[in-house]
Amino acid sequence: MRRRYLLGAGLAIMVAGMAQSALAQSGEIKIGEINSYSLLPAFTEPYRKGWQLALEEVNAAGGINGKKLVVVSKDDSGKPADATTAANELVSSEKVVMLTGTFLSNIGLAVSDFANQKKVFFLAAEPLTDAITWSKGNRYTFRLRPSNYMQAAMLAEAAAKLPAKRWATVAPNYEYGQSAVAVFKKLMSEKRPDIQWVDEQWPPFGKLDAGPVVQAIAASNPEAILNVTFGADLVKFVREGNTRGLFKDRAVVSFLTGEPEYLDPLKEETPVGWIVTGYPWYDIKTPDHDKFIKAYQAKFNDYPRLGSIVGYQTIKAAAAILIKANSEDPEKMIAAAEGLTMPSPFGEITFRKIDHQSTLGAYVGKTAVKDGKGIMVDSVYRDGKDYLPSDAEVSKMRPKD
């Protein structure tokens, strides 16, 4: 078994390679960033552009108390186990002071647990699962995006005003879809005890067989439909639903559909009048957003997606935390981040002390078609802080540190 020789030799080569990159220059502060670049390029490409822009702005404004901010970015190939490997590399050999990023909920949770174990500060950018700040929350993990619960609360507020009493749901069969439906149902039933849930469909994520699903929903004859599918599943669902007349005279409430990532592929087939959460970049007229969009378009010659906002604000928030903490000690960073308020393209946001969730909100509006493209109209910004449960409920859900 001379294979063992090779094991040793191979590892030695690897070690040599790593020793180089471990030489961090003084005068730099490194942040480690992990995301599913190869698995979900439709989201992560704009996301990357967003954080690149933020990084440039931070360093142009003097960096982190005079030190240059550096982002080391790694791909997790969409697997929690690979994400842990990447996190390990970033912390052990790149010597980053903070981890950020992640898209999928299970990857966010894996990295958050890693951060808790290794006592590293982790700013989760995108994962939506409520568990990451509540039932599986820990003191090292903060989250930027409005959670599943917050988005469900925003949509339920609008949906409760509809006259519809018979509701059907369709959601991808994994944690995100399951908890989105569960929270929405709970909040709706509190507001509207008269509502009946007549059908639920759980297609596997990415494998929606649209015809039978649309037909099954139509057969239950609902007055309104809650949709949680997105991406390619959404395209199939919309196309089949349009052809079969599923959405005719029915209200539809839909998670994430207003985000350009998911709305733009629908083009002229965009269904009209769905109540959605999303990002109508063409309609937001705040000074902070104007500044962001001008800089973004000048740098990339492209319009921003929601991922751009998430990437941009993640690095902005990371920088704000590091500047305030003025230290590489994770405990000091936690102290700095708790209750920290900062501007964002959507308005002022705060990282709550109680559960480390940011109060970044989302836009709620209706879908429409203009010039053969899907857009959001009548959009209103819903501030995240108004759509969170009471502090007592939160502390009941969140384990003590």
Q: Which of residues 338-377 bind other proteins (CB under 8 A)?
A: none
In angstroms, give the least distance from the CB of 301 to other proteins. 15
Question: What residues does 101 pair with on adjacent strands?
Answer: 34, 124
Nearer to other proteins, 204 or 339 (CB): 204
Q: Which two tokens stand for residue 94?
A: 């790149």
Q: Is the dihedral of CA 243, 245, 248, 251 positive or negative?
A: negative
Judged by beta carbon, residue 218 or residue 325, the one nearer other proteins is 218
Read off φ and ψ for residue 123, nearest 5 degrees: -105, 105
Q: Is 75 in the site for other proteins (CB under 8 A)?
A: yes
Residues, the chain, total? Answer: 401
Which DSSP symbol is given to 387? G
First-to-last C-alpha distance (Å) of the chain: 49
Give the nearer residue to other proteins in terms of CB position, either 162 or 216.
216
Structure tokens at 312: 């941009």
Binds other proteins by CB under 8 A, chosen from 49, 74, 143, 289: 74
Minimum Å gap between C-beta 305 and other proteins is: 9
Residue 101 to residues 141, 143, 301, 320, 336, Cα–Cα distance (Å): 11, 9, 24, 16, 19
Q: Tell me which residue of 159, 9, 36, 22 sits closest to 92, measured CA to CA.
A: 22
User: What is the DSSP track for 189-249?
Assistant: HHH-TT-EEEEEE-PPTT---HHHHHHHHHHT--SEEEE---THHHHHHHHHHHHHTTTTT
| Interface stretch with other proteins, choices 60-68, 79-87, 151-159, 316-324 (CB under 8 A) | 79-87
For other proteins, the binding residues in 114-143 under the rule CB under 8 A are 114, 116-117, 129, 131, 136
Rank residues 198 and 335 by Cβ distance to other proteins and give the closer one: 198
DSSP 132: G
Please state the closest distance from residue 228 (CB atom) to other proteins, in A.
Answer: 13
Tell me the per-residue interface mask from 270 to 309 with other proteins, x by CB under 8 A, - otherwise. Answer: ----------------------------------------
**Of the candidates 204, 294, 329, 396, which one interacts with other proteins according to CB under 8 A?**
204
- Residue from 162, 216, 368, 369 that binds other proteins (CB under 8 A)? 216
Q: In the complex, what is the shortest distance from the CB of residue 54 to other proteins, in angstroms, rounded to a whole number?
A: 19
- Considering only residues 99, 109, 120, 164, which one is a binding residue for other proteins as defined by CB under 8 A? 109
Q: Is residue 245 part of the contact set for other proteins (CB under 8 A)?
A: yes
Does 113 engage in binding with other proteins (CB under 8 A)? yes
The residue among 90 and 154 lying less far from other proteins, judged by its C-beta, is: 90
Q: Which of 70, 124, 183, 213 binds other proteins (CB under 8 A)?
A: 213
Dihedral of CA 73/74/78/84: which sign?
Answer: negative
Out of 59, 173, 286, 327, the residue judged to bind other proteins by CB under 8 A: 173
Give CA–CA dist 378/363, Å, rounded: 10
Told to check if 201 binds other proteins by CB under 8 A, we report: yes
Phi-psi region of 376 (alpha: psi -120 to 50; beta: other; left: phi over 0): beta
For 279, list phi and psi in degrees, rounded to 5.
Answer: -140, 90
Which of 65, 196, 215, 326 is the binder for other proteins (CB under 8 A)?
A: 215
Q: Is 133 helix (H, G, I), strand (E, B) or coil?
A: coil
DSSP lists the bridge partners of residue 68 as 28
By CB neighbour count within 10 A (0-12 exposed, 13-18 middle, 19+ buried), where does 375 fall?
A: buried
Question: Which SS3 state, helix, strand or coil, does residue 223 take?
Answer: coil
Cβ 171 to other proteins, closest distance in Å?
10
By CB under 8 A, which span of 168-176, 290-298, 314-322, 349-357 interacts with other proteins?
168-176
Interacting residue with other proteins among 119, 267, 294, 396 (CB under 8 A): 267
Given the complex with other proteins, which of 3 and 285 has the nearer CB atom?
3
Q: Shortest CA distance to 99 belongs to which of 269, 330, 368, 310?
A: 330
Interface with other proteins by CB under 8 A: which range of 38-46, 250-258, 323-331, 357-365? Answer: 38-46
What's the CA gap between 143 and 11, in Å, rounded?
36
Interacting residues of 17 by C-beta distance below 8 A, sequence separation 6+:
none
Interacting stretch for other proteins, rule CB under 8 A, among 263-271, 326-334, 364-372, 390-398?
263-271
Candidates 59, 77, 189, 286: give the one binding other proteins (CB under 8 A): 77
